[in-house]
Amino acid sequence: MLSTLPRRIWAARWAYLFLLPAMVPFFVFIVLPILQGLGLSLYDAQLVARQFIGFDNFVALAKDEVFRQAILSTIYFVVGVVPITVAIALLLAVTVFPLSQGVQSFFRLAFYLPVVASGVVLSIVWLYIYHPTYGLLNYLLSLVGIPRVEWLGRTETALPSLALVVVSWTIGQPLILFLAGLGGIPLDLYDAASIDGAGSWARFWYITFPLLKPTTLFNLITQTIGVFQVFVVVLLMTRGGPMNTTQTIVYRIYETAFTFFHFGYASAMGVVLLVIVGLVAVAQFRLLGQEVEY
Amino acid sequence: MSIEIEVPRQRSETGQRRSQLGTRVLTWLAVLVAFLAALASLLPLYWMLVGSFKIETNAMSVPPEFWPYAPTIRNWSKLLFGESPTWLWLLNSLVVAMGSATCAVLTSALAGYVFGKKVFPGKTFLFWLVIITMMLPKQISLIPLFLLMRNLKWINSYQGLIAPAVAYPFGIFLIKQYMPTIPNELMNAARIDGADEIQIFTKIILPLAKPAVGALAIFSFVNAWNDYLWQLIMTNDRAMFTLPVGVSKLISQLSNYDLGLAMAGATFAFLPMLIVFLVFQDYFVKGITMGSIKG
């Protein structure tokens, strides 16, 4: 029996050769650093010095007020912003889908361009739009009599203001996926339902929504992974302020590691991020009860 | 898959007609709202473009100018021919994005083909490893990767900026998903005709997998272009900044926040991506769907 394994490996030598260019950098630059990141979380690691301290980093994290804020606003994004983004994308897709191809393309373009524009570009523009004195938003609101607001400077408005940027930045991809998913639903189903007297709401609730469940789950998961990493908007727009209300986990990791050079502590934050991402993904799978086909 | 459709009780003729009218009004209302949302989505980009042609006092005027009354190219000339090496930043970004895309396409096409078409010991394990890393937040490996680059003395270098993008798990996944559409008979026929493994890959797989490879090329290009966090920590030499890093530093370093210049910088950083998107729009749409839906 044992002799067959080497034979099977030899028979597949081309497969291994073809895998090599991907697998070498995959292990060196992706897998190995992940494992090292897990290990580093157990060390007190600075620029040069390094000392094993067990779970002390995690104990310190549990008491870290700023990190708690970062977890809270990250949860705000995951539990609040992501479902809203996906729901809006679904409503937009259902609204736009019956229209002509050309009109659909316009909507795809309009909502996907911000995705293409990247976080840096959007952050710079939104800084201008949110500006308390000469920002566009305050001007437009003043037309309907709403007084000037310092959007990014107040503890109540800073996080929702960033959330709006993130929604406008990320809605394009789920929209495109929902449109594609709608295209895959056989029209006969709707015809049959109409003959049976189902109204448009019944058709949406009993045909469209169940059939789009896999797409919805995929959107929720990918959006969640994306929103966990909200960083650019924080760095460029608020730097975590005011009063730490817009801290996010990835921004904490960045500042801890690359401003204060506490590599071990920052790695422990990375592990916490990993655990939360895993838990949320499992919860989403459970909630929508269907597997995404891979 | 079973689909249950609950049938509402038959309504009277007139009631039904009235509700149909109501539905139609609602539908058009929804389209109107969607249209306004689309405009709102485009507004920031329009505002950026217009702002880049405003002189400082007009950029700060209240009420704001929806069209620059005294358009100026001062911001653009300051950005492109001023003291900051903007063109160099553009070049750096292009080198990094193109280098990353080229490497990612080569490695992912080979690996995706092998995962999709070959049987070999260790396949399941390796593929699951690829899938898992695809879903993990990148930040977990950020610090060890940075330390590795520091030890290799690859900080402020192209190879350091490109290295983490050479293996692209999502790309491997994308190509693997596409492989079932290529019939095995075609490969077997070529093999009988005396084609070797390399020829089968270059003459059959690559041409037939063109839509997937195209989507992969664009995704890896855009991804590399937008990998701001990595570029930010990997460069501290002004001459090695990428365009997004350079533009963002330009803005944060301005003592007196120059809005016109900021908008010109943002527009300039957006333009290459806009061109890529408009030229390859079909690949974008196909690629996004390809990654999520089987077949």
Whether residue B172 lies inside any domain: the answer is yes
Averaged pLDDT for residues B228-257:
85
- Are the CB atoms for B53 and B72 separated by under 8 Å? yes
**Which of B27, B59, B76 is the last residue in one of the domains?**
B76
Instruction: State which H helix or E strand residue A215 sits in.
Output: helix A213-228
What radius of gyration do chain A's Cα atoms show? 24
Cβ B109 vs Cβ B213: under 8 Å: yes
The torsion angles phi and psi of A184, rounded to 5 degrees, stand at: -90, -5
Q: How confident is the model at residue B295 (pLDDT cuts 50, 70, 90)?
A: very low
Residue A180 to residue B26: CA distance in whole angstroms: 23
Q: Tell me: do B125 and B157 sit in the same domain.
A: yes
Domain membership flag for residue B272: yes
Domains identified in chain A, total number: 1
- Residues B233 and B278 reside in one and the same domain: yes
Span B44-54, pLDDT tens digits = 999 999 989 98
Same domain, yes or no, for B31 and B168? no
Angle at A292 between CA A289 and CA B178, to 5 degrees: 170
Say yes or no: B24 and B137 in one domain: no
ipTM, two decimals, is 0.88
Among candidate residues B271, B261, B273, the one with its CA nearest the CA of residue B76: B261
Question: What is the rounded CA–CA span in Å between residue B62 and residue B58?
Answer: 8
- Tell me the percentage of chain B whose pLDDT exceeds 70: 89
The band of B11, judged by pLDDT with boundaries at 50, 70 and 90, is very low
Say yes or no: B68 and B155 in one domain: no
**Does B257 map to a domain?**
yes
Q: Do residues B111 and B195 share a domain?
A: yes
Across the range A183-187, mean pLDDT stands at: 84
Beta strands in chain A (DSSP E): 43-45, 50-52
Answer yes or no: is pLDDT of B5 > 50. Answer: no
Mean pLDDT of A22-41: 95
Q: Is A64 helix (H, G, I), strand (E, B) or coil?
A: coil
Residue that finishes a domain, picked among B52, B76, B100: B76
Q: What is the pTM of this model?
A: 0.88
CA distances from A256 to A46, A222, B28, B152, B180 (A): 10, 26, 51, 23, 46
Considering the domain boundaries, does residue A48 fall inside one? no
Record: contact A96-B34, CB cut-off 8 A: yes
What's the mean pLDDT in B10-18? 54
Contact yes or no for A126/B266 (Cβ under 8 A): no
**Taking CB atoms and an 8 Å cutoff, what residues of chain A touch B47?**
125, 128-129, 136
Is the CA virtual torsion B60, B66, B68, B73 positive or negative?
positive
Which helix (H) or strand (E) segment holds residue B217: the answer is helix B210-225
In a domain, B9, yes or no: no
B180 and B49 in a common domain? no
Per the model's pLDDT, the better-predicted residue between A7 and B235 turns out to be: B235
Which residues span the domain enclosing B67?
A: 15-76
Same structural domain for residues B186 and B253? yes
- Please report which confidence band the pLDDT of residue A20 belongs to, taking 50, 70 and 90 as the band edges: very high
Contacts of B276 in chain A (CB under 8 A): 116
**Least CA distance to A164: which residue of chain B?**
B41
In 3D space, the residue among B225, B263, B221 whose CA is nearest the CA of residue B89 turns out to be B225
Q: Which two tokens stand for residue A47?
A: 């620029």
| Mutate which: B281, B282, B292, vs A, most A CBs within 10 A | B292
Helix (H) or strand (E) holding A241: none
The structural domain count of chain B equals 2
Residue A289 has pLDDT above 70, yes or no: no
On whether both B152 and B97 belong to a single domain, the answer is yes
Query: Is B255 a residue whose pLDDT tops 60?
Result: no
| Cα–Cα distance, B147 to B253 (Å, whole number) | 27
CB atoms within 10 A of CB B120: 17
Sequence letter at residue A83: P
Write out chain B residues lying below 8 Å of A253, CB-based: 139, 142-143
A200 has a pLDDT exceeding 70: yes
**Which of these three, B60, B76, B92, is where a domain ends?**
B76
Q: A26 and B133 in contact by Cβ < 8 A?
A: yes
Q: What are the tens digits of pLDDT across the range B81-95?
A: 988 899 999 999 999
Q: Residue B7: inside a domain, yes or no?
A: no
Instruction: Average the pLDDT over B6-32 and give the result.
Output: 68
Is B105 among the domain residues? yes
Does B118 fall in a domain?
Answer: yes
Within 13 Å and on the Cβ side, how many CA atoms surround B123? 18
Q: Indicate which of B4, B5, B126 best probes the interface with A, i.e. most A CBs within 10 Å of its own CB.
A: B5
For residue B44, list chain A residues with Cβ-Cβ distance below 8 A. Answer: 114, 122, 125-126, 129, 168
What's the pLDDT at A210? 86
Residue A197 lies in a domain: yes
CA distance B284 to B279: 10
Chain segment A203-237, per-residue pLDDT in tens: 888 888 888 888 888 888 888 888 887 899 999 99
Instruction: Give the structural domain span for A284.
Output: 61-288
CATH number where A215 lies: 1.10.3720.10
CB contact under 8 A, B138 and A229: yes
Q: What's the whole-number average pLDDT of chain B?
A: 86
Most confidently modeled of B98-107, B186-195, B202-211? B98-107
Q: Do A134 and B59 touch (CB under 8 A)?
A: yes
Q: Is the pLDDT of residue B110 over 70?
A: yes
Confidence at B282, pLDDT banded by 50, 70, 90: confident
Name the helix (H) or strand (E) containing B280. none
pLDDT of residue B137: 84
Is B111 inside any structural domain?
yes
C-alpha to C-alpha distance for A278 and A271, rounded to whole angstroms: 11
* CATH code where residue B143 lies: 1.10.3720.10
Residues B64 and B94 in one domain: no
Least confident of A60-69, B3-12, B194-203, B210-219: B3-12
- Can you tell me the mean pLDDT for A124-131? 91
Q: Are residues B175 and B247 in the same domain?
A: yes
Handedness of CA B56, B59, B60, B63 (dihedral sign): positive
Domain contains A202: yes
Residue of A171, A225, A263 lying closest to B143 (CB–CB)? A263
Say whether the peptide bond before residue A242 is cis (omega within 30 degrees of 0): yes
Contact yes or no for A282/A209 (Cβ under 8 A)? no
Taking the C-alpha atoms of residue A36 and residue A41, their distance in angstroms, rounded to an integer, is: 9
8 Å CB contact of B277 and A113? yes
In DSSP terms, A44 is beta-bridged to A51
Average pLDDT over residues B127-139: 89
Residues B135 and B242 in one domain: yes
What average pLDDT does the segment A125-138 reach? 89
Interface touch B164/A176, C-beta < 8 Å: no
